[in-house]
Amino acid sequence: MYMSIQEVVAQAERTGLAISELMILQEMDVTKLSRQEIWQRMEKNLATMKNAVERSAQGQGVFSPTGLTGGDAVKMLKYRQSGKSLSGDAVLAGVQYALGTNEVNAAMGLVCATPTAGASGTIPGVIFSISETMNLTHEAQIRFLFTSALFGMVVANNAMISGAMGGCQAEVGSASAMAAAAAVEAAGGTAQQSSEAFSIALGNLLGLVCDPVAGLVEVPCVKRNAIGSGNALIAADMALAGITNIIPADETIEAMRSIGSRMPRELRETGLGGSAATRTGLDIKMRIFGKDVSLTPTEETDL
């Protein structure tokens, strides 16, 4: 069982194996399943992601029961088709697919938790974006998921991946870093470059709080996944360009763990702080749940 990114990189360099292959071999050893069985399980994950992305782009899009989110993936698709984007189509493709996946999640649809349902759009956003720009094969897409899984496993073993434990840095932050590392391998980068991309992406989102309005995984969660995808693509390009991160990947994970452990409960998925505690956020909670959620004198002063 790999317990550090440094160990993963060292093993990849020592054996000449891709990080995705290291993850497959580890799964075979831990689960005692065959390569084919493990591969088929990951294929199911990929199919689930693809189905969510495709569903989100049909008609007017998908909408949550609350009406807080929905339809933005279709809006982004139409904007992409206009050819007038500022960020470039590859980034906006990632944004569209990330938005769409999380809209499906908010609409009670089926998604693949990567590493959580609240962060389920970031990795699909990246994988399907670069699949178009790089013409990734089906095998390469599956390997992308194995690579991201290995980095995510190290995060889970050394820090946290849930917003309730460490804020959104632990969810979207981890997902973005996982996607960045996998994108580098898919583009032919080295294991060390994957590590650099991971560290850059996670470092960019350190301190990100989890503040779901009305306690629902919709606002600002859906749009944060879009940012996570864009962040991952940029971090991957930086690493592939030869740019390194001063703080190593494992130390960045430790920084995230330390920040998460010190983060007040109001900013860890409780829906009591941040965006959730704004006047609009509280009004939305009142509308949905019909409860008296008026601001206390202390909270009014904070605002």
Q: Is 255 left (phi over 0), alpha (psi -120 to 50) or beta?
A: alpha
Mean pLDDT of successive 10-residue stretches along the chain, which has 303 residues: 97 98 98 98 98 98 98 98 96 98 98 97 98 98 98 98 98 98 98 99 98 98 98 98 98 98 98 98 96 47 37
Give the pLDDT of residue 291.
Answer: 67
Q: What is the pLDDT of residue 70?
A: 98
Of 119, 122, 244, nearest to 189 (Cα)?
244
List residues bridging with 63 in a β-sheet: 70
Length of the chain: 303
**Cα–chain center distance at 232:** 9
How far is Cα 169 from Cα 222, in angstroms, rounded to an integer? 14
Report residue 206 as tokens: 């350190």
State how far the alpha carbon of 287 is from the alpha carbons of 89, 214, 266, 282, 293, in Å.
Answer: 37, 9, 21, 9, 10
The Cα–Cα gap between 150 and 5 comes to 9
Output DSSP code: residue 70. B
Q: How far is CA 94 from CA 101, 151, 179, 227, in A?
A: 11, 20, 11, 9
How far is residue 76's CA from residue 294's CA, in Å, rounded to a whole number? 35
Tokens of 24: 């497959």
| Mean pLDDT value across the chain | 95
- Output the pLDDT for position 122: 98
Can you give the pTM of this predicted structure?
A: 0.95
Note the pLDDT of residue 303. 37
